[in-house]
Structures are given as structure tokens and as C-alpha cells.
Amino acid sequence: MNISINELKELMANKLTQAGLKREDAGVVADVLAHADARGIFSHGAMRTEYYAERIAKGGITVNPDVQFKQTGPGTAVLDADNGVGHVAAKDAMTRAIEMARENGTAVVGIRRMSHSGAMSYFVQQAAEAGMIGISMCQSDPMVVPFGGAEPYFGTNPIAFAAPGEGDDKIIFDMATSIQAWGKILHARSKGETIPDTWAVDKDGVPTTDPFKVTGLLPIAGPKGYGLMMMVDILSGVLLGLPFGKHVSSMYHDMTAGRELGQLHIVIDPGAFTSTDLFRANISGMMKELNEVKPAPGFDQVLYPGQNTTLQEKESLKNGVEIVDEILDYLRSDVVHHNQYDHKDPFAK
């Protein structure tokens, strides 16, 4: 069913408030989820609402966290989120990182002991809208088989990047270091669709097209993606004194306990390195030149990284988004959650 972005935000915020989250925080979470749906990243949008509602209702997300922010150097800081809602912690940390980068040229802010924070493109977009370069990365629970391995060790461990061009121009992209994010498998399940045989493997380590047989995801570009996901885990986990690799908490194991996750924001003020006007002009120039590259057979146009989701967002803001009926029925119901995630096998049906 098609629904406007504003109506979707209101429904999600209402449900999260019903689960026990403060209205202001629920609004932030709803904004991040709607951002994902608008960009066509449905795996990180409305379909996640019930999961958050169940974890909030069962105490696995601290609704009144004792957030501690400590600046450890001119351009470094750590925000301890006390297992509060991840979207709020990540937005807060990015806001602080932007302020620090304005003063010092660069900023690196780590977030420790947070819950899942959704689509990271939202947070790097904050930086780009402030005229800054934004980089963000976070660890996640083990679902990806290492190159040459037959059982998961690292998470999908995503990386997001954004840079401002002239006017409203922005390059924004957000990618998992697995070939595909686990949420995409969930989306395929919800739609009753098959998946490419390059995304994941079954219990025997054999590539599968059946999303219900998946027991491990595959890293992008084999050993190269494997190296990137290790880097992300080190920078957003080990660096912050948090559990790493196979020790990272499961998304579903115990909905009454905090996730203890880590995330790292890096913000760079272009003006600390070059003329800001020149930087932004060159970013816009790069975007334009990439669009003008001769397309290969089977392609209408070359897009710059993230352009497809940016175009989708503009369309969604104008015409609304298509949300699975089952999800909308839940959002419009009086049910807080259906108790379907606690101690669930992450690869289960």
C-alpha cells in the first residue's frame, strides 16, 4: 500500500511511544526509518519498527539513558549511550562531531554501548548538510562467513560516506561489507522472492537462492570485503573497548539485554585542507562528469555512487512509499508487538 512519508513517520512514532519510548526519541527513530524507506532501503525502514518496539517493551533499550560524552582530545571524543536507542545516540554524536570539526578541522567520535541505529546514510547526510565530509561505520552481530570459512564470524559491518557539492548537491552512499545486508534477505522473505546466488550460503556453505535457507552471508569481493569488515569491527568495536567479531551480541538473543554495540563517526571540514568553494565545485563537477560517462551496453546512464537512492528519495517525498500491507496493519493496530523476535535464530524463518 502506498503511504506518504509524513503519515508513515507518525504511525511509527506512535507505535514506538506506545512501546515506552519518549515521544521526542520516537520521532528521531521514525525519521531515520522513514529516511531508509524513502531511499528504497526497505530493509532498514518500517519493517524494523516491531523489532524495536519489542526490545523497548522488554527493557533491552534504555528509555531514559544516562548518556555520557567525554572529549578526549581536540578532535576526539567518546559518547557512552548507556544502551539507549541507537538512532538518537548516533544523531547526537554526529551533531557533536560536526561542532568539533568546525573548531578543529576534523573530528572522530566513537559511540559505545548503543543499540541498533538503522541506516547510516542518515547520519553522514547530517555532515554533508553542514558542509562537511561524513564517514560512519558500525559493527553488527556475526552473520558473514569469512573468506575461506564455512561459519559466520563478522557482521555485515557497514560503511557510509557523504560529501557536499554546490547548492543542494550531495554524494551519499551507504554499503554493507557483505555482498548484501541481512535486511535485504528479510525483505525478500517478506515479499516471497528469491535472492541472487552470490548473496549467501546455506548450512553446507553452498550458495543459495532461497532466502529461507540462508545461514551465512558472503563478503563483498571475497578477501577484500573480508578485510574491510575486519577494519570496521576494529574501528567501531575494539577501538572502543567493546566485544568484537563473533562476540558481538545477537540482534535477537535476549531482548531484555542491551546490545553494547559500537559506531564511529569521522567528520572532515574541507576548509581545513582546501578552498571550501573549490571542494564543493569539484564534487558537483565529479557528479556531473560521472553522469556524462558513456554507458555500457544494457545501461541507460552512469550514476554516481548513491545516486539511485537519492533519486528514489525525491520520488518518495513527492509520491509516497509502498509499504507491505502486513507492516501497515501492524503500525495501525493497538498491538505493541507479537513477541516474535526474542531468542529467535537470526537465520530462522
CATH number, domain with residue 162: 3.30.1370.60
Whether residue 45 lies inside any domain: the answer is yes
Whether residue 343 lies inside any domain: the answer is no
- Residue 182: per-residue pLDDT: 76
- Say if residues 94 and 265 touch (Cβ distance below 8 Å): yes
pLDDT of residue 181 exceeding 80, the answer is no
Instruction: For residue 77, give the C-alpha cell.
Output: 571524543
- Say if residues 295 and 302 touch (Cβ distance below 8 Å): yes
Task: Tell me the C-alpha distance between 134 and 137, whole Å.
Answer: 10
% the chain with pLDDT above 90: 90
Q: Which pLDDT band, with edges at 50, 70 and 90, does 254 fall under?
A: very high
**Other C-beta atoms within 10 Å of 37: how many?**
29
**Number of structural domains the chain divides into:** 1
Instruction: For residue 149, give the C-alpha cell.
Output: 570459512
Whether residue 339 lies inside any domain: the answer is no
- Say if residues 182 and 256 touch (Cβ distance below 8 Å): no
Instruction: For residue 109, give the C-alpha cell.
Output: 567520535
- Residue 348: per-residue pLDDT: 65
- Residue 183: per-residue pLDDT: 72
Whether residue 17 lies inside any domain: the answer is yes
For 42, the domain range is 2-275+309-332
Whether residue 99 lies inside any domain: the answer is yes
Residue appearing with cell numbers 545461514: 215
Residue appearing with cell numbers 500491507: 325
**Phi–psi pair at 231, nearest 5 degrees:** -60, -45
Q: Which pLDDT band, with edges at 50, 70 and 90, does 184 fall under?
A: confident
State the catalytic residues. Answer: 116
Q: Tell me: the pLDDT tens digits for 280-316?
A: 999 999 999 999 999 999 999 999 999 999 999 999 9
**Phi–psi pair at 107, nearest 5 degrees:** -150, 140
Mean pLDDT of the chain: 95
**Phi–psi pair at 331, nearest 5 degrees:** -60, -30
Q: How far is CA 50 from the centre of its chain?
A: 17
SS3 101: helix
pLDDT of residue 209 exceeding 70, the answer is yes
Its pTM stands at 0.94
Q: Region 56-84: what's the mean pLDDT?
A: 98
Instruction: For residue 138, give the C-alpha cell.
Output: 558500525
- Say if residues 267 and 127 touch (Cβ distance below 8 Å): yes
Q: Region 206-222: what's the mean pLDDT?
A: 93
pLDDT of residue 349 exceeding 70, the answer is no
Q: Region 75-96: what's the mean pLDDT?
A: 98
Whether residue 141 lies inside any domain: the answer is yes
Contacts made by residues 222-229, CB under 8 angstroms, sequence distance 24+: 222/147, 223/147, 225/147, 225/177, 225/178, 225/179, 226/146, 226/147, 226/154, 228/157, 228/159, 228/177, 229/144, 229/154, 229/155, 229/156, 229/157, 229/177, 229/178
- Residue 5: per-residue pLDDT: 97
Whether residue 282 lies inside any domain: the answer is no
- Residue 180: per-residue pLDDT: 83
Residue 55: half-sphere exposure toward Cβ, Cα within 13 Å:
28
Q: Which pLDDT band, with edges at 50, 70 and 90, does 43 fall under?
A: confident
Q: Region 90-101: what's the mean pLDDT?
A: 98
Whether residue 280 lies inside any domain: the answer is no
Bridging pattern class, strands 200-201 and 216-217: antiparallel
